[in-house]
Amino acid sequence: MRAWFSRPAALVAPALVAVLVGVAVKAGAQTAGGGAGVSVGAGGTGANVNGQVGFTRQATLSPQEELAQSDGIIGRLQNGASTVSKQLGEARGARDVVKVLCLNDKLSQMDVALRSAQDRKQSLAAAAQGNNVELANHEFTILTVLKTRADQLQAEANQCIGEEAAFVGTTQTNTIIDPDIPRVDETPYPTTDPTFVSGPPLPTSAEK
């Protein structure tokens, strides 16, 4: 039964990494060309004038600054994978096969993205140590793409369980009662006319 809910990460990793490398190389080439290309970095995703989807990078980031931001990216991926793993455990406890299959697929892809991001961080650290700006930008580009992909996977995981969560965490409800509201309803009853007597309704089939 466990084989039904397992998807080998090795089948996903080569394709995902190949796509990410292709995006990064294309982005770097367009940026170096000086045209209306794509700039990449921690600022998020965007679309340029030629209709291609790109990534906005702060040009002032140094390799050391990119390395510092990579810690936040890794932490975000780890938190996302932990949340989806908890959702998967709850679905297995409820024996919901549909949710288990859906969540297991998302978690497998998030695990692949996390391992790839950790590898890229090591390469970024080496580039920052050698002050290799071009290689550092390349590795940071892929880290940014992985973060965006992980956010998308977590949103899809919420859809697996039928939730559109604005944030992940414990929900706390606070109730505030207005102290000016009286504890006893003092509204008077409406007055009635004692001379008014309402008779029973006549049947529709009554003969005159």
Domain residue extents for the chain:
5-30+57-160
Report which residue type is found at 131: N
pLDDT at 26 exceeding the cut of 60: no
CA 39/CA 154 separation, integer angstroms: 25
HSE value, Cβ hemisphere, 13 Å, CA-based, for 206 = 5
Q: What is the DSSP string of 31-60?
A: HHHTSS----STT-EEE-TTS-EEE---TT
Q: Is 162 helix (H, G, I), strand (E, B) or coil?
A: coil
pLDDT at 117 exceeding the cut of 90: yes
pLDDT per residue as tens digits for the range 120-176:
999 999 999 998 999 999 999 999 999 999 999 999 999 998 865 444 445 567 778
Q: Are strands 53-55 and 45-47 parallel, antiparallel or unpaired?
A: antiparallel
Per 3-state DSSP, what percentage of the chain is helix, strand, and coil (rounded to 5)?
A: 60, 5, 40
pLDDT at 95 exceeding the cut of 70: yes
